Amino acid sequence: MSEHDDPYLWLEEVTADEAMTWVRERNAEAVAELTGGARFAELRDEIRAVFDADDRIPYVRRRGEYLYNFWQTPASPRGLWRRTTLEQYRRDEPDWQLLLDVDELGKREGENWVWDGAAVLRPDYRLALVNLSRGGADAAVVREFDLQTREFVPGGFELPEAKSFLRWIDADRVYVGTDFGPDSMTSSGYPRIVKEWRRGTELADAVTVFEGKPEDVSVYATHDPTPGFERDFVGRNIDFYRSERFLRTESGDLLRIDVPDDAETSVEREWLLITLRSAWTVGETTYPAGCLLATRFDDFIAGERNVDVLFEPDAHTSLTYHSWTKDHVILNTLHDVQSRIEVLTPGPDGWQRAELAGVPVGALSEITDTDPDVSDEYFMNSSGYVEPATLRRGVVGGEPEILKQAPARFDAADIEVHQHFATSADGTKIPYFVVGKPDPHTRPTLLSGYGGFEVSLTPSYLGHVGRAWLARGGTYVVANLRGGGEYGPDWHSQAVKANRHLVYEDFAAVARDLIDRGITTPRRLGIQGGSNGGLLMGVMLTKYPRLFGAIVCQVPLLDMRRYHELLAGASWMAEYGDPRKPEEWAFIEPFSPYQNVHEGAQYPPVLFATSTRDDRVHPGHARKMVARMREQGHDVRYYENIEGGHGAAADNEQLAFKWALVFEFLWAKLS
């Protein structure tokens, strides 16, 4: 089927009357089917209680003397931006200083505002650039906010709704990328031009400092205000994995940071850190993909190539990320999808290495915040599939203190966690975690996966899954597929473009392994995934339908013939391939779900869920797939939240309703 033969193109008109009438009709059908029983109400209320719990951890980010937090409650569903001191935060009930009430702002302005974050100006942290989204879309309005008066700045920096960026240079200058008019956005829908904008001038008078190419994904610009190391950087993201980076001098000259295009870089004081996605030969030495290298920035710009290896992967271990404190680098690695944390310290005799003190054994621990401007402080969160979260604060070199602990959201006394390895079609071992009660009999089982964009699925405490699924006797499984980042860049690069089929073979192998081990049966095995994981669900539906008893497909890509034409789709061609090229469409077409769903085939029941306000993955993917499956007579239902963006929910009430639909559908079909 070519796009010219597609009878459902009209469903790509997101808010057109005809399309929205169709959406409301499908919503009514799904709601009538899934919400009428007592179980749905119980699921919804239990899930909502998890999301709204007063005793959940209020995670914070340090900005100067204050710790900042965004908090949602039933009384303030769109949330409160607030801050407190460390002394107060140590208390059971801190005294929070309210900065912005998003619900009150929306009512006052007659807008459907959803919080989308804020950038606070260093080093005095007096001004912020607040991002507000209508309904949860990626496109946002940006406004300047005064943290002393706790008011928006009259006549301050402000951008209308667009996919934009606004980055502080100093109190009177910003870098801006937005929709300046014709030819100012890339084919992916992101800014192509960077300008310097001075306070008190019109946006139209901002001065262009850098331009990317129309076919790039986006451009960017940042200013580093670290005293003694003030620097400006600009660059272009050529595709999802390749970038060209420049140091912008005071005179406006651009000096290229000459690292491989697919490497990631970070600059902190005198150091340049380089994370490799592919092998890089420097002089006579070749450094493998997945390495973390360190060199002195000024020397590197001057042409020297003396580098130190801070991390080198092996067959079981990969680097997840690194975080700077004032004097140290904290490395978080995964060994067979289980975390390890260590500290590296530069000195006259090279880099010294030590374990980070106080990291709990058996839990997944992550560094959530550091304060590299002034201290060696860090915040660390630890949790597991059955271990509720614990937030610790430490200073490198000492034992961390426990700041907050979340209570259990479900009874996990009889629930066990096991890691297994399935063998994929090409012989590769694919790890997966099984969470559930030991039982000689099969149980309803929910298998989830993602397998893309170097995203790792790691063990974490999911209260809503625990209450709605595990506590009710279900088994929960997470597959660590190729295409993800669990074993470093090579684990991802094995499964892009022409080798995309490996992701789907891996997931099918995990499903078969669950069945072979007697954990479940095809009739009792449900699967769930969203976004790229939604594409995974679509492929399982069309290519491996006999393995599953029910499928939940959320905010998915499905029409891979046209995905590059829809919203941000063009930015993902480095992952999937370019369907405009016959040689690449040849390997995309066999897995494109919309082109491979057929009348007469036997498919398991499926629930599709998406959002009207998702301006990242177009809701037309799910709409068209459901329309075609309905035409062909398949067992399919559809729910589209009118708000919510790519997360498909704008507040906890919507989020609880969405997940209750999912679990009600799964229990109804798999019990």
pLDDT digits (tens, 9 = 90+) for 154-164: 999 999 999 99
Residue 86 carries which side chain, given as an amino acid letter?
L
pLDDT band at 4 (very low <50, low <70, confident <90, very high): low
| pLDDT tens-place string over residues 481-493 | 999 999 999 999 9
Residue range 406-428: average pLDDT?
96
Q: 208-247 burial, b for 16+ CB within 10 Å, e for fewer?
A: ebbbbeeebbbbbbbbeeeeeeebbbbbbbbbbbbbbbbb
Q: How far apart are CA 459 and CA 448, in angstroms?
A: 12
Cis ω for the linkage preceding 123 (within 30 of 0): yes
Q: What is the pLDDT of residue 646?
A: 65
Question: Across the chain, what does the average pLDDT equal?
Answer: 95
Q: What is the pLDDT of residue 649?
A: 66
Structure tokens at 201: 């001038």
| pLDDT tens-place string over residues 128-147 | 999 999 988 889 999 999 99
pLDDT band at 549 (very low <50, low <70, confident <90, very high): very high
What is the domain partition of the chain in residue ranges?
A: 3-49+409-670, 58-162, 314-407
* pLDDT of 650 higher than 80: no
CATH no. for 3-49+409-670: 3.40.50.1820
Q: How far apart are CA 236 and CA 213, in angstroms?
A: 8
Q: What is the pLDDT of residue 361?
A: 86
Percent of the chain with pLDDT strictly greater than 70? 99
* Among the listed residues 87, 92, 114, 88, the one whose alpha carbon sits nearest the alpha carbon of residue 103: 114
pLDDT band at 445 (very low <50, low <70, confident <90, very high): very high
Q: Which helix (H) or strand (E) holds 531?
A: none
* pLDDT of 261 higher than 90: yes
Residue range 358-367: average pLDDT?
92
Residue range 243-270: average pLDDT?
96
Can you give the length of the chain in residues? 671
Q: 428-439 burial, b for 16+ CB within 10 Å, e for fewer?
A: bebbbbbbbeee
* pLDDT of 359 higher than 80: yes
What is the Cβ-side half-sphere exposure of residue 66, based on CA atoms within 13 angstroms?
19
| pLDDT tens-place string over residues 596-612 | 999 999 999 999 999 99
Residue 253 carries which side chain, given as an amino acid letter?
D
DSSP reduced 3-state for 669: helix
Q: What is the pLDDT of residue 2?
A: 58
Q: Which ranges of 193-312 does DSSP label H, i.e. alpha helix?
A: 297-301
Active site residues: 531, 646
Q: What is the pLDDT of residue 314?
A: 92
